[in-house]
Structure 1
Amino acid sequence: MSLPKISRVPASRLLSAVHDPRWPLRSAAPLAVPKRALTQSGYRRPGQPREDKPPWQRIKFDFSKGLEGITKHFKLLRQEFSDRLVGPEGKPIIEHMLEQNRVIWEFRGPDSLQEWTLSSDREIGGQSEIHLKLGKNNETCFLYGTLQSAPPRDGETRYSGYCSMRSKQPLVSFDRKKHHDWSSFNTLHLRIRGDGRPWMVNIAAESYFTHQKDDLYSYFLYTRGGPYWQDVKIPFSKFFLTHRGRIQDNQHPLWLDKVNTIGFTLGDKADGPFQLEIDFIGVCKDYAHTEDFAYEVYKRNPEV
């Protein structure tokens, strides 16, 4: 029985193959790297196309627009310094000490509507619609639309049917956040005219940690319907803490010195048209209300 002949490989060729960095991968199949591995994208709504462009290709460079932005920010910075010389928020300190009512948002022209943003379940494939315009006398805000609670047929979304309006985050120079300081007040004051539907009032405050960015303080807003205006006063102590629509067990009061935005959400699962007219949104100080917080705060490690 004859053995197969073994071909001799020169030692120099064998050593060069060992030092070759591609030598361990020659026998392996080529690795398929998906495009999404280049840039870690965030959450994508079902049914929306994926954005394959890298982030450096989405930037639009415009020298004239950049020059306008620098001029605007330096003007805002100069206004900040001049306001601080007068007092908090550009008002004398005696006015803050004696102030009992303050109007934060009022609708007296088309420019006032630019401070608000609308959203609905159309972002996830739903059928609800929401619109915002001025009232008949151009002195109110008229929010209207149609609510549809049927979920989209994408195989992933189970619930749908919401419409909301939320104020934009106020900014100062160089796009820094500006917080509303309502620490001198204890009640939210609204003048509204609705159609009898229950709404949810949501207040977003500044948080220290990133996992708290979806925290909201919510309370119910019941409209009675009819042609008459309704003055609603909701104490801040009644607002309860929620995270992505879920009430939290660990409740604590709202930080009134770092309020970012306020919003109104409709999701009562009653399909059909809706409307809500708002005259102004303000805060006031009710001396008859002495409650600090309406909900029990539990100790995680109570003392024995």
Structure 2
Amino acid sequence: MSLPKVSHLPPLRLLSSIHNPHLLLCSIAPPSVPRRTLSQSGYRRPGKTRDDRLPWQKIDFDFWKGVEGIKKHFKLLKQELTDPFIGPEGKPILEHMKEQNRVVWEFRGPESLAGWTVSCDKEIGGQSEVYLKLGRNDTCFLYGTLNSAPPKDGETRYSGYCTMRSKQSLASFDRKKHFDWSSFNTLHLRIRGDGRPWMINIATENYFSHQKDDLYTYFLFTRGGPYWQDVKIPFSKFFITHRGRIHDQQHPLWLDKINTIGFTLGDKADGPFQLEIDFIGVCKDYAHTEDFAYEMYKRNPTA
């Protein structure tokens, strides 16, 4: 039964009379496959003859050209493999990372403690005691007892402090040697304390003699417990103090001429204390963009 005759039958007879469902499908001619399927399209640039060669016939088997291609691709492969280890300015990434972090003081032997000095109010008649030794893990171990009872001299009203401070580094002919931290913006310490708050004091080279007691100060809060604590303090947080009093006029820390760093305890909580320091270093924190944390106002602004 041909398709035109089937289409004129009633619906019921049409369904009952169809045994082959393919009769309802239109005959679709198979797509004509071109003779040259592997060749490019028949487009030809004006002025050029048509190239009917097969693709593999157009390959130029040149040995030296192949060697140059191998060199080129192996060079690209080498660059692809080494790029993750190359930092800015073409420096190795490890060297670049070392430039962003610097350990200034670390304690790996008894000789490393020779560059530090400790003091307390016992030197002026107080009763506090402070000691410095090398810890079991080759760390700086500062310990002692804080006593805020003033000496009975009839003059001193307040007492109770313990401090540790680095000695002034000297160059040849006993010249002062300064630390240049201008490439960094954060102080990095690894410590383990007993929960007491400390003061970090940084001394810089001053231009006038009356500034010799000026220190840049900030707080160090220890957690206590057996775990080490990594502390990062931006240099923009440090403020100027003079013999324990905060200056009215503040300005950022001068990082190009750092002399010493120290730690002071004076929280008036009498009793034993301890502070363990693994290292003291500086680092570059790109997430910190603050120049100075304290906004200054003119005391007598002119109208």
> TM-score range with shorter-chain normalisation?
0.5 to 0.7
> Any idea what the Cα deviations from partners look like across 1:52-74, whole Å, max 9, x if unmatched?
xxxxxxxxxxxxxxxxxxxxxxx
Q: Which residue of 2 aligns with 1:278?
A: 277
Shift of residue 183 of structure 1?
0.2
- Distance of aligned partners of 1:113 and 1:251 in 2 relative to their CA distance in 1, 3 Å threshold: same
Corresponding residue for 2:112? 112
Distance 2:135 2:281 in 1: 19
Q: Distance in 1 between matches of 2:96 and 2:175?
A: 24
- For residues 127-164 of structure 1, what are the alpha-carbon distances to aligned partners after superposition, in whole Å with 9 as ceiling and x for unaligned? 10000011113x21110000000000011111100000
Q: 1:136 to 1:225 in 2, by over 3 A?
A: same
Distance 1:96 1:258 in 2: 23
Amino acid at match of 1:165: M
Q: Amino acid of the residue matched to residue 201 of structure 2?
A: N
Q: Match of 2:123, SS?
A: helix
1:97 Cα shift?
10
Q: Return the letter of the residue paired with 1:191.
A: R
Inter-CA distance 103–293: structure 2 relative to 1 (3 Å threshold): same
Which deviations, in whole Å up to 9, do the C-alpha atoms of 1:212-241 show, x marking residues without a partner? Answer: 000000000000100000000000000011
Matched with 1:121 is: 121
C-alpha separation in 2, matches of 1:221 and 1:241: 16
SS of match in other structure, 1:159: coil
User: Is the CA contact (8 Å cut-off) linking 1:196 and 1:225 kept in structure 2?
Assistant: yes
Q: TM-score, normalised by structure 2?
A: 0.67
Contact 1:130 1:163 in 2 (8 A): yes
Distance 1:180 1:147 in 2: 32
Distance 1:299 1:252 in 2: 13
Cα distance in 1 for partners of 2:230, 2:221 equals 11
Structure 2 counterparts to residues 1-304 of structure 1, below 5 A: 99-137=99-137, 139-299=138-298, 302=301, 304=303
Say whether the 8 Å CA contact 1:250–1:298 is kept in structure 2: no
Distance (Å, rounded) in 2 between the aligned partners of 1:221 and 1:231: 11
The alpha carbon displacement at 1:289 in A equals: 0.1
Q: How many angstroms apart in 1 are the aligned matches of 2:96 and 2:255?
A: 15
CA distance in 2, matches of 1:98, 1:227: 29
* Structure 2 stretches lacking a partner, 5+ long: 1-94
Deviation at 1:298, TM superposition (A): 2.6
* 1:239 partner amino acid: F
For 1:281 and 1:97, the matched residues in 2 are separated by 17
Letter in 2 for 1:274: F
* Alpha-carbon distance between aligned partners in 1 of 2:98 and 2:191, rounded to the nearest angstrom: 27
TM-score for the superposition, normalised by structure 1: 0.67
Q: CA–CA distance in 1 between the matches of 2:235 and 2:280?
A: 14
1:275–1:256 Cα change, 3 Å: same
Q: Displacement, 1:297? A: 2.3
Q: Which has the larger radius of gyration?
A: 2
CA distance in 2, matches of 1:174, 1:122: 34
1:25-47 Cα distance to aligned partner (Å, 9 max, x none): xxxxxxxxxxxxxxxxxxxxxxx
Letter in 1 for 2:128: S
CA–CA distance in structure 2, aligned partners of residues 176 and 97 of structure 1: 31
**Structure 2 CA distance for aligned equivalents of residues 136 and 260 of structure 1:** 29
Deviation at residue 174 of structure 1 after TM alignment = 1.2
Fraction of identical pairs, as percent? 85
Unpaired runs of 5+ residues, structure 1, are 1-94
How many residues are paired up?
209
Identify if the C-alpha distance between structure 1 residues 190 and 97 changes in structure 2 by more than 3 Å, giving closer, same or farther.
closer
> Could you tell me how far 1:123 is from its partner in structure 2?
1.1
8 Å Cα contact 1:166-1:264 kept in structure 2: yes
User: Matches of 2:288 and 2:268 in 1, distance apart?
Assistant: 34
C-alpha distance after superposition, 1:247-296 (max 9, x if no partner): 01100001000110000000000000000000000000000000000001
Amino acid of the structure 2 residue aligned with 1:198:
P
Letter aligned with residue 103 of structure 1? V
Secondary structure of residue in 1 paired with 2:122 = helix
Alignment partners' CA distance in 2, 1:250 and 1:196: 32
Secondary structure of the 1:130 match is strand
Q: Distance in 2 between matches of 1:120 and 1:256?
A: 28
For 1:108 and 1:99, how far apart are their aligned partners in 2?
Answer: 22
